[in-house]
Structure 1
Amino acid sequence: MAASSPIRVASYNLRKCRGTDGRRDPARVLDVIGALGADVVALQEADLRLGARPAALPPAMVEAESDFELVRLAASPVSIGWHGNAILLRKGMAHGAPRRIELPGLEPRGAVAVDLDALRIVGVHLGLLRRYRRAQLAQLRERLAALPPLPTVITGDFNEWRLNRGLEPLDGAYKAHAPGRSFPTRRPMAALDRVALSHDLALQDAGVNDSPLARRASDHLPIWADIIPAG
């Protein structure tokens, strides 16, 4: 990642492709993703929750109707993610073997990670209760610290309503950013969707896609962040 060439990382909670109008419309979701101009997109709720957790966003549609390819993270042959977390990369982007990271909590949670040429991308969907979110972040930090060092982006639905508390386990290793209010789409009040950067990375720009289409496609608005090396 050259200093003059930022990489755009986005995060989007798809709500299983069910929009605020009650329609399940993966094509609409793909249109929202395409408008982000991102190189990497971390997805949450990309699979249905019950049974074998079939994909809410069909992989054949991603391949045929987008500029992205799916990182192979699923443990089930009918899913595209793990605990609903999936990662899209621009077609042709080289990457290493993906990782699945178990996280503690009352309900099953996990994180997913993939290494690019000079950047590690981690997608998360944290729990609803702050004590579990803190435990999840602490374990995630510990697991990432055990990996070969690489500039790291953690992004996803952090489920934290407060801007000044709740993410303390990241302190000292990562700086968290809230690009803007992303939930709920009808009247955004909370910056639930965040990005956290290791200290060798810097945020050049960031924002929320609040287009009319994005407001219908899910109950979360997607966020994006342009990231460059620090210093």
Structure 2
Amino acid sequence: MICVASYNIRKSVGTDWRRDPARILDIISEVDADVIALQEVDRRFGSRSTSLSPEMIAERTDYFAISFGVREQSLGWHGNTILYRKGMTVLDTMTLTLPALEPRGAVLADLQRGDDKIRVIGLHLGLVDLWRRRQAQSVLNQLDVLDEALPTVIMGDLNQWTTEGGCLAHFAENHQVIAPGPSFHSSRPVLNFDRIITTLDIEVTASGVHKSDLARRGSDHLPVWARLKINAVAAGMAQSA
């Protein structure tokens, strides 16, 4: 069993408009997932410096951060990064460039814990429906040409207002699309912006939204999570196909 989560941290700026990285790390520890995809980890302007330093993450939590930033002071690729629990092994990483009016990208990490291997993609899709659909299809196309197929989780802030259609239709063709629950706005969540999507060789045993008092103050999004069970037989067939 592996627990995954996704969290748009809004550059560590909370609903009280204070930038508080320590609070974000406390929320991440509350969620207690094995792998966490973060969005908006880097500041938007200037040097694009990260709001969460890798050293602070390692010191204050049970996680390591994968650095995808092309700038020395950045952690994410277009704001996206992945945290993994200490004790897991990183097998491979890569960045995905997505078509967009404004810069957008996704990050990928192949991870292993024990005998389980899992591919994790973290992303943050655009605000315009046409570009969200193009970005979803681009992610799927780039996954299709990878040499090795692995049980895969795609998660992040999809910015999709509707409960179906749009970019969700592309993902739903050959994946499970999980809506853990309303996660935006954190003060009164009504929108399912944050989603978790899996290949069919993964069973989702539970999912939800982390609604602690601290999380309601930490960002304008709440973290979402899912507990996953990898179907070893189906995964083996996919890898040999």
Query: Post-superposition shift, 1:72?
Result: 2.5
Question: TM-score w.r.t. structure 1 length?
Answer: 0.95
CA contact (8 A) 1:207 1:225 kept: yes
Name the amino acid aligned to 1:108: P
List aligned pairs for 1:152-163, cutoff 5 A: 152-163=152-163
1:61 to 47, 50, 56: 56
- Structure 1 ranges of 4+ moved more than 6 A: none
The residue aligned with 2:121 is 122
Q: Deviations over 1:35-73 (max 9, x none)?
A: 011000000000001122100112221111111001121
The residue aligned with 2:136 is 137
CA contact (8 A) 1:72 1:98 kept: no
Matched residues, number:
226
CA contact (8 A) 2:183 2:191 kept: yes
Query: Post-superposition shift, 1:95?
Result: 1.2
1:34 match: secondary structure: helix
Tell me the percent identity. 46
2:34 to 11, 32, 39: 39
User: How far, CA to CA, are the matches of 1:139 and 1:69 in structure 2?
Assistant: 28
CA contact (8 A) 1:42 1:87 kept: yes
The residue aligned with 1:74 is 69
User: How far, CA to CA, are the matches of 1:33 and 1:63 in structure 2?
Assistant: 12
Unpaired runs of at least 5, structure 2: 235-241
User: How far, CA to CA, are the matches of 1:104 and 1:51 in structure 2?
Assistant: 23
List aligned pairs for 1:197-216, cutoff 5 A: 197-216=198-217
Question: TM-score w.r.t. structure 2 length?
Answer: 0.91
CA contact (8 A) 1:95 1:116 kept: yes
**In the alignment, structure 1 residue 21 sits paired with structure 2 residue 16:** yes
User: How far, CA to CA, are the matches of 1:72 and 1:108 in structure 2?
Assistant: 18
The root-mean-square deviation of aligned C-alpha atoms, in Å, is 1.0
List aligned pairs for 1:92-107, cutoff 5 A: 92-107=87-102
User: How far, CA to CA, are the matches of 2:73 and 2:224 in structure 1?
Assistant: 27
2:176 match: secondary structure: strand
Name the amino acid aligned to 1:45: E
1:187 match: secondary structure: coil
Greater share of helix residues, 1 or 2?
2
User: How far, CA to CA, are the matches of 1:71 and 1:164 in structure 2?
Assistant: 32
The residue aligned with 2:220 is 219
Unpaired runs of at least 5, structure 1: 1-5
CA contact (8 A) 1:181 1:192 kept: yes
User: How far, CA to CA, are the matches of 1:110 and 1:57 in structure 2?
Assistant: 19
Query: Post-superposition shift, 1:97?
Result: 2.4
User: How far, CA to CA, are the matches of 2:179 and 2:172 in structure 1?
Assistant: 15
User: How far, CA to CA, are the matches of 2:52 and 2:32 in structure 1?
Assistant: 19
Query: Post-superposition shift, 1:74?
Result: 1.4
Name the amino acid aligned to 1:149: A
User: How far, CA to CA, are the matches of 2:128 and 2:208 in structure 1?
Assistant: 26
Query: Post-superposition shift, 1:172?
Result: 2.5
User: How far, CA to CA, are the matches of 1:97 and 1:78 in structure 2?
Assistant: 22
CA contact (8 A) 2:92 2:111 kept: no
